[in-house]
Amino acid sequence: MSFLSYVREQFEEAAQILNLNEGLREVLEKPERTIIVSLPCKMDNGEVKVFTGYRVQHNSARGPYKGGIRYHPDVTLEEVTALSMLMTWKCAVVDIPFGGAKGGIRCDPKSMSQAELERLTRKYTMAIARVIGPYLDIPAPDVYTDAQTMAWIMDTYSKMYGEPTPAVVTGKPIALGGSEGRNEATGMGVAIVTREVAKYLGKPLKGARVVVQGFGNAGSISAKLLQEMGCRIIAVSDSKGGIYSKDQLDVEKIAEHKRKTGSVINYEKAKNITNEELLELECDFLIPAAIENVITAKNADRINTSAVIEAANGPTTPDADKILFEKGILVVPDTLASAGGVTVSYFEWVQNLTRSKWSVEDVKANLDTKMVKAFNDVMRTAKEYAVNARQAAMIVAVKRVAEAVKALGSWF
């Protein structure tokens, strides 16, 4: 099943449970606007290459479109379309006033210089400038884009419209109106949700064994924060492999080891294991924070945890979902668990529009409130409809967007 088909299937399932009529389903399933642009860009050697860029704007019933921009050689229109739909549902689950969008450029950023990336980013911004803006569509970083990319977009857009417009993007450098806490936001959200899962399951957080697959931004920060909350991090991994200690690992020392060696493996106070072995370790909370489709029908029977908290996008396949549900393992879906990033992006947007600056304590307090409410909304819905948490999150999201579309009235 293609990624887009899977996303649509999730939507259809929620729409059927909510008994939405066929016309409304079609409105909610199809993007409102799809933009494909050709981007001629001069390379450092004088050669001109033409890149393809995309921006898919899925739904704006609840507010301006919101979603990242990724640079990757495998970017496709189908992938960007699926991700734009997921952003609509993610924003609705945490109840922030955005719709969903996603963008991308098919390129290999690893083989490009900083100057080439800047020229390409400015070309892309000029090409989509008429369909983005503080009250229309607010991009953010994604795969192989970062705060610097957002600074180039903001600068290009501001020069085109003749006024400083920091609210056109989020995920900017702090010096240009970025929010305190934005870099840690996804990991913070994962840690908050894990804490709430422990309460929901009646398990003590102090001493809980946590396994984290993926030691990038989200994985490392959630591991650090959970360790500060009293959890025992017993295993972590990156693309080269994992490490395990039956007692616990020191997250700060592992981060330092990875900075020095390029990987978490070969840490002297732990045993090297594979990513596959890591997923099957006995633990209280398993946090897949790496890539998609790592928990499948092939290994779901061997997953030995009380709860899976999805920090990555799509780490659990539909078949595995059913197996885990039957085993009584709670799976907190990515649309909820990884929503800390877009939530703090919303806070950044609000700060930019009001020309205000929040402290990191204010950001954390507001994020905590949003994530706790979203978790409780999802678990209450799961009980009401007798469904798993992924289905419940989709029901919450689709219901909110459908209500907004109906409240706006009929244009069709």
Straight-line distance from the first to the last Cα atom of the chain, in angstroms, rounded to the nearest whole number: 31
Three-class DSSP category at 138: strand
Beta carbons of 319 and 341 less than 8 angstroms apart: no
Cβ-based neighbour number of residue 228 at 10 Å: 10
Of residues 66, 90, 102, 123, which has the active-site annotation? 102
Beta strands in 43-182 (DSSP E): 48-59, 65-72, 99-106, 137-141
HSE value, Cβ hemisphere, 13 Å, CA-based, for 66: 29
- Rounded Cα–Cα distance for residues 406 and 402 (Å): 6
- Rounded Cα–Cα distance for residues 230 and 274 (Å): 26
Beta carbons of 85 and 7 less than 8 angstroms apart: yes
Range list of H helices, 94-146: 114-128
- Rounded Cα–Cα distance for residues 384 and 377 (Å): 10
- Rounded Cα–Cα distance for residues 221 and 233 (Å): 12
- Identify the H or E element spanning 216: none
The dihedral built from the CA positions of residue 280, 283, 286 and 290, taken in this order, carries a sign that is: negative
Q: Is 284 exposed, middle or buried (0-12, 13-18, 19+ CB in 10 A)?
A: buried
Determine whether 102 is an active site residue. Answer: yes
Beta carbons of 331 and 316 less than 8 angstroms apart: yes
Q: What share of the chain is helix, strand, coil (3-state, %, to 5)?
A: 50, 20, 30
* Positions marked active-site: 102
